[in-house]
């Protein structure tokens, strides 16, 4: 969750193709570099026999060593999977033997370090309090990825505890992983909490990544790192085996460089899980989301523009105006502006709801883990106090302390806040404006430009449109839309529950109409 809205010199190797990948990248004079290639392009090369899963995995590992561990030192990856090459060899052997392969066969995927894997990697949410034995089993979404043939490359850094520890935190910092850097401008925030996943995708350290969101943790890092991120309908993807904040808003989601890859990853991860009651109807709504990748997906769509989220920022408004023009040119019917009712009315209810749910949900999750130093939120708080030099050099744990003091989930105060937040954000908020203006979706700036990192004072915050969809549990997709002084800006398309097919059509149509994304250049400071 993103509650509030010393750079190193750049080495030449960070900007050049890598030796291990050069041979495979020379299939044509103008071929897309492997680190920038889409799933479809990589799968075509593997089917043709000009690329293997092992070669692809080796290339990413070398690129991680050169860019993430050295060079600009993005610090996006907290742990590499020691079995990644073995997984890749298994996929290559299956392909060679003519065995059926899944849609992600041989494709590297990074996971946010709050997602359980039943392998040699730890799951820590960035906290030293969870360092110890790995989780016993894969989270269901990880099992789906493996079944689809994905190579789990490693775990990504994040805002510790998904940024649910202190109101003065800095996004992308964790006690275990340190600070993740924005690959466009290194002294700027990567946002969070899925900072490492977004940075790794943006910088070409993986093909795909998985993040999680409670409010803004997919959308904000997606926007500020110039990639596509999908925050799906609550209950489309299982949350079992994910370190939680709050069951009323938590969800995992895909992160990719384009809408097509994000839609494919969503298709693989979605589905019901008996252990997660929220996913009861997921199989009824899940479809092959790649069927909605229509170049003319904007034609005839009615889209409302929520300008209030631009907060009067001239730079954001310029990008938003250009996005509106692109929508109209591509055949969309744009209603500009529209107003979401009650959008400022449920912030306190949301915060109170999360505060109650965090203790209950985290204690339930910790009961599934063995071989780590903590079993309850109270244990985590005590651990942080005992290891303050490592865990609290920059900010404290006031949010955790506040949550620990809350009563049970039968408390009338909690139940009232939860009901109000859901009602005002969903039926009386997003749904009301969609119905009033007969809209297919809403569009708003995802966030403003990334701010300069300030570990002493914490995040500066700014423009953010994530809360209505996050609180309601509705889907939200951010797509690159433009740049301000070298910093990427995204726009978000969001709508009612289970409206992913419509939003993917719109997002893909917008992407094809604008092609706004460009690769990061690892600048030390924003150009004037």
Rounded Cα distance between 505 and 332, Å, is: 12
Largest CA distance in the chain: 66
Set 38, 217, 425, 466: catalytic member? 217
Q: What is the dihedral of CA 485, 213, 111, 117, to 10 degrees?
A: 170
DSSP state of 18: -
**Cα angle 479-194-266, degrees, rounded to a multiple of 5:** 55
How far, rounded to the nearest angstrom, does the alpha carbon of residue 490 sit from its chain's CA centroid? 13
DSSP state of 72: T
Rounded Cα distance between 68 and 314, Å, is: 33
DSSP state of 383: H
Nearest to 130 by CA among 83, 168, 171, 177: 177
Helices (H) and strands (E) in the chain, counts: 19, 13
**CB-based contact 435:338 (threshold 8 Å):** no
Nearest to 187 by CA among 486, 415, 439: 486
Catalytic, 112? Answer yes
**CB-based contact 442:193 (threshold 8 Å):** no
**Dihedral of CA 230/232/236/240: which sign?**
positive
Set 38, 112, 159, 170: catalytic member? 112
Rounded Cα distance between 342 and 70, Å, is: 47
Print burial letters for 418-447: b (CB count within 10 Å at least 16), e (below 16).
bebbbebbbebbbbbbbeeeebbbbbbbbb
**CB-based contact 338:304 (threshold 8 Å):** yes
User: How deeply is 20 buried, as exposed, middle or buried, from its count of CB atoms within 10 A (0-12, 13-18, 19+)?
Assistant: middle
How many other CB atoms are found less than 10 A from the CB of residue 301?
22
| Residue 119 φ/ψ region, left for φ over 0, alpha for ψ in the -120 to 50 degree band, beta for the rest | beta
Set 171, 193, 223, 446: catalytic member? 193
User: How deeply is 377 buried, as exposed, middle or buried, from its count of CB atoms within 10 A (0-12, 13-18, 19+)?
Assistant: buried
Catalytic, 193? Answer yes
Nearest to 176 by CA among 476, 424, 393, 406: 393
Rounded Cα distance between 218 and 368, Å, is: 25
**Hey, which residues are catalytic here?**
112, 193, 217
């Amino acid at each position: 969750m993103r509650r509030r809205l010393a750079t190193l010199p750049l080495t030449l190797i960070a900007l050049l193709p890598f030796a291990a990948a050069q041979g495979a990248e020379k299939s044509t004079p103008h071929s897309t570099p492997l680190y920038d290639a889409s799933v479809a392009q990589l799968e075509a090369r593997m089917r043709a026999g000009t690329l293997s899963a092992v070669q692809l995995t080796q290339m990413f590992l070398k690129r991680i060593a050169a860019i993430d561990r050295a060079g600009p030192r993005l610090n996006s990856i907290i742990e590499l999977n020691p079995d990644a090459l073995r997984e890749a060899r298994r996929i290559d052997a299956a392909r060679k033997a003519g065995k059926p392969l899944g849609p992600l066969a041989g494709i590297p995927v990074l996971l946010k370090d709050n997602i359980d894997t039943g392998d040699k990697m730890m799951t820590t949410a960035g906290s030293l309090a969870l360092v110890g034995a790995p989780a016993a089993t894969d989270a269901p979404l990880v099992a789906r990825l493996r079944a689809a043939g994905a190579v789990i490359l490693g775990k990504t850094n994040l805002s510790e505890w998904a940024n649910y520890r202190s109101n003065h935190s800095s996004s992308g910092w964790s006690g275990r992983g340190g600070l993740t850097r924005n690959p466009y401008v290194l002294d700027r925030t990567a946002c969070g909490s899925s900072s490492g996943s977004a940075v790794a995708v943006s910088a070409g350290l993986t093909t795909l990544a998985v993040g999680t969101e409670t409010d803004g943790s997919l959308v904000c890092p997606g926007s500020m790192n110039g990639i596509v991120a999908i925050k799906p309908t609550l209950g489309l993807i299982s949350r079992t085996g994910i370190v939680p904040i709050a069951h009323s808003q938590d969800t995992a989601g895909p992160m990719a460089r384009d809408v097509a890859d994000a839609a494919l990853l969503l298709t693989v991860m979605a589905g019901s899980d008996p252990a997660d009651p929220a996913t009861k109807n997921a199989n009824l709504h899940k479809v092959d989301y790649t069927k909605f990748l229509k170049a003319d997906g904007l034609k005839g769509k009615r889209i409302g523009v929520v300008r209030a989220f631009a907060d009067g920022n001239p730079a954001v408004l310029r990008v938003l105006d250009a996005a509106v023009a692109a929508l109209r040119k591509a055949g969309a019917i744009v209603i500009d502006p529209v107003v979401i009712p009650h959008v400022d009315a449920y912030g306190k209810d949301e915060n109170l709801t999360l505060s109650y749910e965090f203790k209950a949900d985290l204690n339930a999750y910790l009961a599934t883990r063995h071989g780590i130093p903590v079993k309850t939120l109270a244990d985590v708080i005590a651990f942080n106090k005992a290891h303050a030099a490592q865990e609290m050099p920059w900010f404290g744990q006031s949010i955790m302390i506040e949550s620990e003091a809350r009563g049970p989930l039968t408390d009338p105060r909690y139940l009232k806040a939860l009901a109000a937040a859901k009602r005002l954000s969903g039926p009386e908020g997003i749904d009301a404006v969609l119905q009033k203006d007969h809209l297919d979706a809403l569009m708003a700036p995802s966030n403003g430009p990334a701010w300069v990192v300030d570990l002493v004072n914490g995040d500066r915050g700014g423009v953010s449109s994530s809360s209505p969809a996050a609180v309601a549990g509705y889907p939200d997709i951010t797509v690159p839309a433009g740049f301000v002084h070298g910093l990427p800006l995204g726009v978000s398309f969001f709508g009612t529950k289970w409206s992913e097919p419509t939003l993917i059509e719109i997002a893909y149509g917008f992407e094809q109409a604008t092609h706004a994304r460009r690769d990061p250049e690892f600048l030390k400071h924003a150009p004037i």
